[in-house]
A and B are shown apart, each in its own frame.
Chain A
């Protein structure tokens, strides 16, 4: 089956992002296709390379980046949600004259159309929210 996963929860504050990551790994381990992970609402915080959790806590940006690299999974961050919350790639950082970009590796910023595209092209779309 083709799955899409939607993440509404930020790292640490809620379990949603960790559950989404475990679910994503399980989908792939079971031999299904994970078409896209779409980060919306507070889920965009998963994409921040500025987050520095303690060593004994999950590094969600790192976890997602590793998943993307290992399994060639698309990690898409909604631009509107990201801008509101201060998650910027190089292009947006330049556009808004911010001192730095913080989009973690493996993530890309795109539009809400990517969520709808995922909903229309996956067999199952599963949302993880606080």
Chain B
């Protein structure tokens, strides 16, 4: 039985239901084992500051990120390569995120006893 779960959230917010469903999976997983959340590819758009999805009449998924530490999810990681490819400076991100390199992510993937879920 794995000791941890690594969740990749790879889709842009607002236009897809997957970010919300990824967050739901992270919260459920955290009830079982140590869980890490990594924002990659277009998923990095989820963690830009100063978004207001209420203008769309849709739910603000990012508002749920603040609850993650209370569920024991302390590692909210964001892929630096994905940020750079999209011209996003780290100063534009929400608080509480840890930028990581592609190499850091490779190391995480190589951890024994870990299962990976991708959304």
Contact = CB atoms under 8 A, between A and B. Distances in A.
Interface of A: 6, 8, 40-42, 80-81, 84, 111-113, 115-117, 119-122, 125, 127, 129
B115 to A, nearest CB: 4
B118 A129 contact: yes
B24 interface: yes
B117 interface: yes
Interface string B11-27: 00000011001001100
Question: Which 10 pairs show the lowest CB-CB distances between chains A and B?
Answer: A112-B28, A119-B115, A116-B29, A116-B28, A41-B21, A116-B32, A120-B1, A127-B118, A120-B2, A41-B18
B44 interface: no
Most buried by A among B1, B31, B117: B117
Given A112-B25, A113-B32, 11 more contacts: A41-B18, A42-B17, A111-B28, A116-B29, A116-B32, A119-B29, A120-B1, A121-B1, A125-B115, A127-B118, A129-B119
A113 to B, nearest CB: 6
Contacts of B5: 116, 119-120
Contacts, number: 51
A85 to B, nearest CB: 9
Given A41-B18, A120-B2, A120-B32, A80 B24 contact: yes
Interface size of B as a range:
10 to 19
Interface of B: 1-2, 5, 17-18, 21, 24-25, 28-29, 31-33, 115-119
8 contacts: A6-B117, A40-B25, A81-B21, A84-B17, A116-B31, A119-B117, A120-B32, A125-B117
Nearest to B118: A127
B31 to A, nearest CB: 8
Contacts of B1: 120-121
A111 B31 CA distance: 13
Contact of A113 (B2, B18, B28, B118): B28
A120 B21 contact: no
